[in-house]
Amino acid sequence: MAIEWKGVMPAVTTKFTADDQLDLQMFETNINAQLDAGVHGIVLGGTLGEASTLLEDEKRELTRATVAMVQGKVPVLMNVAEQSTKGAISAAQKAEADGAQGLMMLPPMRYKAGDRETVEYFKAVANNTSLPIMVYNNPVDYKIEVTLDMFEDLLQCDNIEAVKESTRDISNVTRIKNRFGDRLKIMTGVDTLGLESLLMGADGWIAGLVCAFPRETVAIYELQKAGRIQEAVDIYRWFLPLLELDINPKLVQNIKLAEVATGIGTEHVRAPRLPLIGEERQHVLSVIEEGLKRRPTLPDYKNL
């Protein structure tokens, strides 16, 4: 399946049971809610998916199960976040063997690679898989920036097709468009810049709070695409306090609490993460409660 880099693609959470096993039943409940809302792809094993805590067998099981659940309706992407080039190539090839249709790929983990090392890392993986690749550019959290000059080199690989733009610099969307046109598709990766990035020309949104609020997230995308900007803005303004739960070190716990509130998840996380307690928990619950109280009535966004 060729990937159309557009629309809303949730970076889904990984569901666990109380005894720390994969909870594929609740996971399927959430995936079905995403598909019903009209998302355009599913991204597995990102930060929200607690990738760093997943065993290799669990990643493979999750990939195969998700491919079976979506039945070709949308592409399934697996995140690659490895410490070595050898490990990244292996992870990409296993994702491809398990049925993933694309990869989201971080720079090398732990080691702060230089520009040349980072470029060679991405190119080595691209040259050892047929899957299309979206480079995850998040220097704020991962301390390595993939610059436009680096992308100039990376785009020699035909299957490097998109960037998850998470620099937090909204003008970077325009810089990318000015330099690469449609050769490098842009998927915004910061929830609190979602609509702004789309209005500036981003092709889609790799979203977080979509895990709990899929219909609202897709509605924002479809409304702005149809030119109904004010309606998109109104929903986005309601959404922003919830979206801010995504730009927080406890984003996994925050969003899983929101999934509980909307009936499509549990708050089980894998250690060393622990469920929220005390004032921190009460603050997040109050944000969610206020959002649910003011939840907007959506237009028929699927038929715009």
Tell whether 293 is covered by a domain. Answer: yes
The CATH number linked to 61 is: 3.20.20.70
Tell whether 149 is covered by a domain. Answer: yes
Domain count, the chain: 1
The vertex-164 CA angle with 131 and 146, nearest 5°, equals 95
Tell whether 30 is covered by a domain. Answer: yes
Tell whether 42 is covered by a domain. Answer: yes
Residue 217 has a pLDDT of 98
Tell whether 53 is covered by a domain. Answer: yes
Tell whether 144 is covered by a domain. Answer: yes
Contacts of residue 237, Cβ cutoff 8 Å, sequence gap at least 6: none
Residue 1 has a pLDDT of 64
Residue 2 has a pLDDT of 85
Tell whether 1 is covered by a domain. Answer: no
Tell whether 2 is covered by a domain. Answer: no
- Per run of 10 residues, the mean pLDDT along the chain (length 304 residues) is 93 98 98 98 96 96 98 98 97 98 96 95 98 96 94 98 97 98 98 98 98 98 98 98 96 98 98 98 98 98 95
Residue 113 has a pLDDT of 92
pTM here is 0.97
- Enclosing domain of residue 42: 7-303
